[in-house]
Amino acid sequence: METMKKTYYIEVPAALKPDQLTMLMELEKDAFPGFGAVDEQTLVPLTRYGKLIQYRQESDPRPIAICEVMRAYHDIHKAYIFGFYVRSDQQGKGIGKLFLQEIYPILKQDGFQKVCLTVNVENKSAVKLYEKMGFAIKETRFDEFGEGENRYYMEYSIS
């Protein structure tokens, strides 16, 4: 696993070119089919005013994983992970775990002490990953994004 880690790297763009935006929207639709994919109206502000962390592999022109982060306005020491996903053709390889391990130091360096997110209560694999990586379910938010869109609200304290 250690040799695999060396082929991955983090990239944090400050802005997106039109072709990058198109590619990211395609990845969003793949990661969140039907409901949840964001478009240019969200990706552009997230990149400029939040943080769009891309996990890349040396030989791949597309990111293999994405983490979209915003700062909580009411608690400047809390990061909100707006979106986190591993590209569908890269899932099941431990990339989500590796990626989160690299995200925590970035967020700590940015002054965050806590990280929070919401995850669909039906997404058992994501919930399991987040719990394995230190997140705890703090509450269930019923109808968070509309009727039947129930989410666990989870938090992690960065040490």
Domain range spanning residue 131?
2-157
61-73 confidence digits (pLDDT tens): 999 999 999 999 9
User: How does DSSP classify residue 91?
Assistant: T
* Beta pairing class for 151-157 and 136-141: antiparallel
Q: What residue ranges of the chain have pLDDT lower than 50?
A: 1-5
Q: What's the pTM value of the predicted model, to 2 decimals? A: 0.87
Tell me the CATH number at 95.
3.40.630.30
Please answer whether residues 68 and 81 qualify as being in contact, where contact means their C-beta atoms are separated by less than 8 angstroms. Answer: yes
- Element holding 78 (H helix, E strand): strand 78-86
Domain count across the chain = 1
pLDDT tens-digit series, residues 76-94: 999 999 999 999 999 999 9
